[in-house]
Amino acid sequence: MNKGLRPFFDASGVAIIGASSKPNKLSYGIMKNLTSYGYQGAVYPVNPSATEILGLKCYPSILDVPDPIELAVIVLPAELVLAAVKDCAIRGVQAIILISGGFKELGAHGEALENEVLAVIKSAGMRMIGPNCVGTMSLYTGLNTTFIGGMPQIGGIGFLSQSGAVLGGIVDLVKGKGIGFAHFSSLGNEADVTETDMIEYLEDDPHTPVIAAYVEQIKDGARFIKVARKVSRTKPIVLIKAGKTTAGARAVSSHTGSLAGAHSAYQAAFRQSGVIEVQNLNDLFDVSQAFALQPLPQGNRVAILTNSGGPAALVSDSLAMHGLQMADLGAETQDKLRLGLNPSAQVANPVDMLGGAEPGDYEAALALVINDPAVDIVVTILVPQSLVNPVEVAKGIIRVAERAQKTVLACFLGDPAVAEPRRVLHANHVPMVVYPESVGSVLGAMWAYAQWRKKPAMEVDLVTDIDGRLAADLLASATERNLGEAFTRTLLKSYGIDIISGAEGKTIAECIQIAEKIGFPVVLKANVRGVLHKSDIGAISLNIKDENSLRQGAEEMAARIRLSMPDAQIESYLVEKMAPKGQEVIVGMRRDPGFGPVMMFGMGGVFVELIKDVAFRIAPLTRMDAEEMIFETKAARMLTGYRGETVSDVPAVIETIVRLSQLAYDFPQIEEIEINPLLVLAAGKGAIALDGRTILNMIQE
């Protein structure tokens, strides 16, 4: 547990440096919150121009503040912050919340000032949240260092946000809806405390069974994966990522670089670490609340109870879209439902009790359905009617749900009519959503997390039969950034990746000698400076069967190249054995600035960017990671014998992915590398790299 963060939520004393008695000032709002929600620690306003604020003695400097003091909240102009932080270090303050803006977010000058502040923080052994944040809240201690109006209900969600505005909006959004929180934290610029630090702290917090997060950027991707993977074994992490598009991203040359957009690294990291990513704020808290209130589902079979067919149809669609299926109710269950419900009711799944269904109908039907062995999850839907009391329906659901071990979710459509039922349901551990479409999002997240929890923890598989010295020497000798197949073949071979037989020739005569040595038929490829995709300019001749065909193929290939690139010069040729039949896939890597090597797998060949049937993971990989990548794609169906096709050597693909992953991890100067295509032979016959390319970072650090 990151114990240094405790004072942000449970400090014995708090000083507000820059406190004001003016109600229109942020610091006044902080003072008011610190004295309004039951915080039992000492509160010290610091302002040399005041003697008292909100009935509390005001001190001229943090150096004058008495014990106990663990936390300081700084609300000063940026130019005054450094001196205040130095005084905090002298006073022995353990933690600082820097509300003030005017730092890195404003450019180079602000970044330099932020770095000076951080240097003092580090040297003094303090911890700091911010700058440019709105503070923290603990619902359990009443410590509220924000200037946000009001506090939500106490509960089990620990929420962290890189955006103060999002945090403030959410506090207002959830008030009165029975969604309970343990802690809130606004992290701002994350000069010191990051989202990963906060997740690590909340891992051992007894009040926080669920962690929710709004994230814009993760700085240290490798550490995030390590921490989140550990925390997710015991607590769900539900996260929304802002900034998913690749607008403004640098131009890339490889297929991998083109397909691995900015968000693909985050998605891969979340999958590998068990983080549940949601797509909107509504789902963030619906999903988090469900985790906080209900047991994880033991299966994906869902029964629906409803008083209206339309919402049930929407829920059914939503379930199917998120990997859940409709349960087949047993004959005995249906017979008992038929006896107890309106004769016109539909007793198969969904169980439609019709518009006049009473609270007793919901309770009795739920008791029957939840005990059916074919059911893992029950969704109860209510469209409020004028003659039916929604609160009584909620109470009936609660009486059954509290005795059951299965997952129960309520969907009550409406707004004012369902406000009180929602509070009643949430207070009694039954999560409620308003929109039918949300049901699949919530239950799909719970089911995916339940499956992830059951997966064995795997260690990264390090490959030992490699020639690291050869790879290092080869990379050190490179004089160009964009390197084609001739270079990449040797690099791949150094890490034990099988390549097609062949060699490089400078002249046609050398090419003929190579072809005679490896045996016809062969493939002839031209190496043209600056060209990575040979097929784009016709720089490949296939199925050359003899010497004359090779000469003719070389002439025709040169003509095609001149037509596409009049100034192109052929630097050399590759002569390779004509490949046998097999399935073509692509394996590649693009280095992400935050997460490092992002591995890609998908359908190979020239149409990879058109088809975009790809999956991503962050290196280094386990063999389970590699296998999951394969089976996330439609390419897996081709490899496993789709429509009578030969079953391919999937273990050989896994081995290739793992080896390329380690190569990328071992050599950070490789920005992009890919094998396209990797020819996958029949089961037990292996996989062969037919083409490849490498892009290096030529800047020496």
Amino acid in position 166: V
Q: What is the pLDDT of residue 176?
A: 79
Neighbours of 521 (CB within 10 A): 15
Q: Give the Å distances, CA to CA, from 533 to 254, 511, 560, 659, 697.
A: 8, 21, 14, 23, 19
Q: Could you read off the pLDDT of 437-451 as tens digits, one per residue?
A: 999 999 999 999 999
Three-point CA angle 289, 292, 293, nearest 5°: 90
Q: What is the pLDDT of residue 262?
A: 65
Indicate if the pLDDT at residue 36 is higher than 70. yes
Indicate if the pLDDT at residue 246 is higher than 70. no
Q: What is the pLDDT of residue 533?
A: 75
Q: Give the Å distances, CA to CA, from 49 to 18, 46, 60, 591.
A: 10, 9, 7, 53
Q: What is the pLDDT of residue 234?
A: 95
Indicate if the pLDDT at residue 249 is higher than 60. no
The residue assigned the tokens 């009790």 is 353
Say how far apart CA 657 and CA 238 lie, in whole Å: 29
Q: Which residues contact 109 (CB under 8 A, 6 or more apart)?
A: none
Averaged pLDDT for residues 166-178: 85
Q: What is the pLDDT of residue 609?
A: 67
Q: How confident is the model at residue 535 (pLDDT cuts 50, 70, 90)?
A: confident
Q: How confident is the model at residue 649 (pLDDT cuts 50, 70, 90)?
A: very high
Indicate if the pLDDT at residue 260 is higher than 50. no
Q: What is the pLDDT of residue 668?
A: 96
Q: How confident is the model at residue 253 (pLDDT cuts 50, 70, 90)?
A: very low
Starting at the earlier edge strand, list the strands of the sheet with 210-215: 136-138, 180-186, 153-161, 210-215, 237-241, 276-278
Q: How confident is the model at residue 251 (pLDDT cuts 50, 70, 90)?
A: very low
Q: How confident is the model at residue 256 (pLDDT cuts 50, 70, 90)?
A: very low
Q: Which residues contact 298 (CB under 8 A, 6 or more apart)?
A: 376, 406, 450
Mean pLDDT, all residues of the chain: 92
Q: Are 446 and 296 in contact (CB under 8 A)?
A: yes
Indicate if the pLDDT at residue 299 is higher than 60. yes
Give all domains of the chain, ordered by start, each with its CATH number.
3-208 (3.40.50.720), 295-454 (3.40.50.261), 501-578 (3.30.1490.20), 583-696 (3.30.470.20)
DSSP letter string over 213-242? EEES--S-HHHHHHHHHHHTTTS-EEEEE-
Q: What percent of the chain has pLDDT over 70?
A: 95
Say how far apart CA 278 and CA 517 lie, in whole Å: 57
Q: How confident is the model at residue 700 (pLDDT cuts 50, 70, 90)?
A: low
Instruction: Average the pLDDT over each of 389-398, 424-433, 438-447, 605-614 and give the range with the smallest value.
Output: 605-614
Which residues, listed in sequence order, are joined to residue 168 by a DSSP beta bridge? Answer: none
Say how far apart CA 548 and CA 556 lie, in whole Å: 12
Say how far apart CA 678 and CA 585 lie, in whole Å: 5
Residue ranges in 495-546 assigned as alpha helix (H)? 508-518
Say how far apart CA 566 and CA 563 lie, in whole Å: 6
Q: Are 133 and 100 in contact (CB under 8 A)?
A: no
Indicate if the pLDDT at residue 3 is higher than 70. no
Closest to 255 measured CA to CA, from 497, 528, 614? 614
Q: What percent of the chain has pLDDT over 90?
A: 82
Q: What is the pLDDT of residue 387?
A: 87
Say how far apart CA 426 and CA 428 lie, in whole Å: 5
Q: What is the pLDDT of residue 604?
A: 82
Q: Enter the tokens of residue 514.
A: 């190579």
Q: Could you read off the pLDDT of 121-155 as tens digits, one per residue?
A: 999 999 999 999 999 999 999 999 999 988 899 99
Averaged pLDDT for residues 401-411: 96
Q: Could you read off the pLDDT of 355-391 as tens digits, one per residue?
A: 999 999 999 999 999 999 999 999 999 999 888 999 9
Neighbours of 479 (CB within 10 A): 7
Q: Could you read off the pLDDT of 454-491 as tens digits, one per residue?
A: 988 877 878 889 999 999 999 999 988 989 898 999 99
- Across 139-225, the runs of DSSP E, i.e. the strands, are 153-161, 180-186, 210-215
Closest to 447 measured CA to CA, from 478, 419, 407? 407
Indicate if the pLDDT at residue 529 is higher than 70. yes
38, containing H or E segment = none
Indicate if the pLDDT at residue 606 is higher than 70. no
Closest to 352 measured CA to CA, from 404, 319, 315, 406? 315
Of residues 604 and 652, more confidently modeled: 652
Q: Could you read off the pLDDT of 498-513 as tens digits, one per residue?
A: 999 999 999 999 999 9
